[in-house]
Chains A and B, each alone.
Chain A
Amino acid sequence: GESVGLHLPTLSVQEGDNSIINCAYSNSASDYFIWYKQESGKGPQFIIDIRSNMDKRQGQRVTVLLNKTVKHLSLQIAATQPGDSAVYFCAETINTGGFKTIFGAGTRLFVKA
């Protein structure tokens, strides 16, 4: 399938190290945030989410941090594995009467074995 993220920022990490992927979001009214992983030829896959009344949430090997003051979101992946190689997108959900989810620019994670 086609590759996504050919022109996106790239983060290269050694297998076993921790990865931190950062994202700046745009709308101070956003109240729900999501991290997605996209592998080549596939649609985005949900990883973890966080609501605006929280500043940290942990999942299995992943942690999301939210700093509303500076509109910043980060995804931490512990003990990064080759299978984590993909493009990662943050997304913010905005309530405008209806809900819509807007995606950030994305980061390509490359894990070196």
Chain B
Amino acid sequence: SAVISQKPSRDICQRGTSLTIQCQVDSQVTMMFWYRQQPGQSLTLIATANQGSEATYESGFVIDKFPISRPNLTFSTLTVSNMSPEDSSIYLCSASAQGEQPQHFGDGTRLSIL
């Protein structure tokens, strides 16, 4: 199974600033995804990161707030823009070799906004 590394593992940021989270997979994967997990809750899909094209966002998430890049088959970034305390959450990257195979996850980025 793919090994997924995220950086940074945690950060504390000032409101109004932006932070870019990096996700590196140790093998080429077809599909990469970004999730948010608010304290005490389940995972919510933010978007599917498509290689070579714009990300596909879920309802309630927009590109201006969460721009995503996927320059190749092993790497993606998620930016959390113009942060507010409501953005404090765990952001998780996941990857899957193809559709009906289990997605594997990184350990997440724990983000706190003051």
Contacts and interface: CB of A to CB of B under 8 A. Distances in A.
A50 to B, nearest CB: 11
Interface in A27-84: 31-32, 34, 36, 41-46, 49, 51
Interface residues of B, number: 32
Nearest to B99: A99
Interface string B91-105: 010101011101111
B100 A51 contact: yes
A45 B1 CA distance: 11
Contacts, number: 77
Contact of B100 (A31, A42, A44): A31
A100 B33 CA distance: 8
Interface string A1-39: 111111110000000000000000000000110101000
B42 A106 contact: yes
A42 B99 CA distance: 24
Contact of A8 (B1, B33, B40, B105): B40
Interface of A: 1-8, 31-32, 34, 36, 41-46, 49, 51, 89, 93, 95, 98-106
26 contacts: A2-B39, A2-B90, A3-B40, A4-B37, A4-B39, A4-B40, A7-B41, A8-B41, A31-B100, A32-B99, A34-B102, A43-B94, A43-B107, A46-B102, A51-B100, A89-B43, A95-B99, A98-B31, A98-B48, A98-B99, A101-B33, A101-B45, A102-B45, A103-B43, A105-B42, A106-B41
